Amino acid sequence: MRHQWAKFFTSDKEILKLTALVLPIAGLCELGNCPQTTGCGVLRGSARPTIGANINLGSFYLVGMPVAILMGFVLKMGFAGLWLGLLAAQGSCALLMFYVLCTTDWIVEAERANKLTTESNMETNTKMDSNLDERDPPPVAAPIHGETRGSLSEKGGDFSPPRSPATATATGEGRNPLPFSPILGWVG
């Protein structure tokens, strides 16, 4: 297949030869790319993106680039040598990610995540509370059809218990202002 793939794009013999040479190396690079990308996602999800970024930076610039230069130009491997440098970078990156994830104390990370989310929720609630205007009353849910809410007692200032639906109907409270009920149809 590697000899056929490039024929979809060109008929140049030199390009076909280079593509056939490099496709197996590119396939191996993708095998390193998958765990490397997954490891970066896990580190980002556990609030440690700097570790993943440093591993990537070190793998590609401190491992991959020197290997590519050495194999491509010093050892005269040419185009394949450059791709082997990329393979070395992907491999070292995947191995380092694997090492970091295997040596992670996940109990500590779970406690840290709990602390971070608790602090975040507290900050959000504080911001929301500070944004409320003290003159505005708190929002109250509207009564559901047929249900009545207790009213403030004029003397004590506390809520009286809700009335039964029969009492509410007899006194006219809790009536649907429209002559249509979604359950009963037209009423009234």
> Rounded to an integer, what distance in angstroms lies between the CA atom of residue 119 and that of residue 126?
10
180 DSSP 8-state letter: E
- Sort 83 into a burial class: Cβ within 10 Å, 0-12 / 13-18 / 19+: buried
Q: What is the value of pTM for the model shown?
A: 0.60
Q: What percent of the chain has pLDDT over 70?
A: 65
Domain ranges across the chain: 2-104
Please give the backbone phi and psi of residue 18, each rounded to the nearest 5 degrees, phi first: -65, -40
* Four-residue CA torsion sign, 100, 101, 106, 111: positive
pLDDT band with cut points at 50, 70 and 90 for residue 51: very high
Predicted local distance difference test score (pLDDT) of residue 176? 47
Mean pLDDT (the chain, rounded)? 78
Per the CB < 8 A criterion, the answer to whether 24 and 2 are in contact is yes
Predicted local distance difference test score (pLDDT) of residue 159? 47
- Within 13 A of 154's CA, how many CA atoms are on the CB side? 0
Predicted local distance difference test score (pLDDT) of residue 150? 47
Structure tokens at 127: 């911001």
**What is the rounded average pLDDT of the residues 113-138?**
68
A 10 A CB-CB count for 115 gives 10
Per the CB < 8 A criterion, the answer to whether 112 and 45 are in contact is no
What is the enclosing helix (H) or strand (E) of 13? helix 13-45
∠ CA 90-91-92 to the nearest 5 degrees? 95
168 DSSP 8-state letter: H
